[in-house]
A and B are shown apart, each in its own frame.
Chain A
Amino acid sequence: MLNVNEHRCHHQGGQTIADLAAKYKPDANLFILNGFPTPAKSTVHDGDIVSLICKGKQPTPEELDFLLSARHTPGIQNKIKASSVAILGLGGLGSAVAGAMAKIGIGKMLLSDYDVVEPSNLNRQHYFVDQIGMLKTVALRDNLLRMNPSVSLELVEKQLTEPDLPDLFKEVDVLIECFDDPVMKAAALRSVIVKMKNVAYVGSSGMAGFADNNTIVTRTIRPGIYLVGDEVSEAGPGQGLMAPRVGIAAHHQANQALRIILEDVQGRANDQ
């Protein structure tokens, strides 16, 4: 068997890359054999993995969906695509979580922030220098759609208060709290436990500085409610937020949301 653009194909003796391209992607002009560029005349062998690429031409959203489905397996990808998350705050945590969720093909994301991109954000937040001054919601939408044009995005451009949270986010599968402000972190956790009984939750507390990687943990508060961080490393003078450790926490959050979606850990269904 061969793997050609994530399709499994029968291998015939003497077949070349050019033969495969003629059959599967006639406009291809870049050929990758087992991870390395190769000329069209190369012969393929059983077990080879071949990517046929047309340089400069973007795959259609359908082709991208197919590639994700093939890579993740259809059962898993259907669950991811059927799921929605909301991200509260689009700073170092939120922008990284959103990138991870877009790349795996989440169905829908609500992106919430009221702030604009500032130069001081760029040491950790996933924005570009030419986006300084843009609303984070708009800048992040532009960036995410370049990563995966199939993801459906809804922007919530306001400074959230505790009473807003159930009104705006009670329909999502997983609420991911990435606020900077500890008052809102506490408010969001209370709100989800008391007022959003069907929404799973991944909160955050303590990821500033460059202390030990392995003190960032994912703790179960109650079934379907999780908290990521070391719970002590507060952002402040002498201990700033920096991309590496904030990224560790963000990806704990993203993976926990994925595990909830794929039912690898408990969601909220049993919390009555």
Chain B
Amino acid sequence: MNITLNGQPKMLNCIATLSELLEELALNPDTVVIELNTEIIQPDAYDTQTLNEADSLEIIQFVGGG
């Protein structure tokens, strides 16, 4: 499956949900904001939200400090 991740093309193998993608990218689900096709996805839906061919995904990852 081919998606766009943060403006770059990305090919996904054996990844069905947002949670699986976050694990693959080694990102902490608690410190990211995810826009799927410009819609914000709530964290409680990461396990169930599936990805589809040609989806456009923006993941903003936050680091601590302020």
Contacts and interface: CB of A to CB of B under 8 A. Distances in A.
B5 interface: no
B12 interface: no
A104 interface: no
A234 B63 CA distance: 5
B64 A186 contact: no
Contacts of A234: 63-65
Contacts of B24: none
Interface of A: 89, 91-94, 178-183, 185-186, 189-190, 193-194, 204-208, 221, 227, 231-236, 241, 246
Nearest to A208: B65
Contacts of B33: 186, 189-190, 193
Interface string B11-42: 00000000000000000101111000000101
B63 A232 contact: yes
14 contacts: A89-B66, A180-B65, A182-B31, A183-B30, A185-B66, A186-B30, A193-B33, A194-B40, A205-B62, A206-B63, A207-B66, A221-B60, A235-B63, A241-B66
Contacts of B42: 190, 194
Contacts, number: 69
Interface residues of B, number: 14
A93 B30 contact: no
Given A193-B33, A194-B42, 17 more contacts: A92-B66, A93-B66, A94-B66, A179-B66, A180-B66, A182-B63, A182-B64, A185-B62, A186-B62, A189-B33, A190-B42, A205-B61, A205-B63, A207-B66, A208-B63, A227-B60, A232-B63
Contacts of A180: 64-66
B28, B61, B62, B64, most chain A CB atoms within 10 A = B62
Contacts of A233: 63, 65
Contacts of B64: 180-182, 234-236
A221 B40 CA distance: 12
A93, A183, A194, most chain B CB atoms within 10 A = A183
Contacts of A186: 30-33, 60, 62
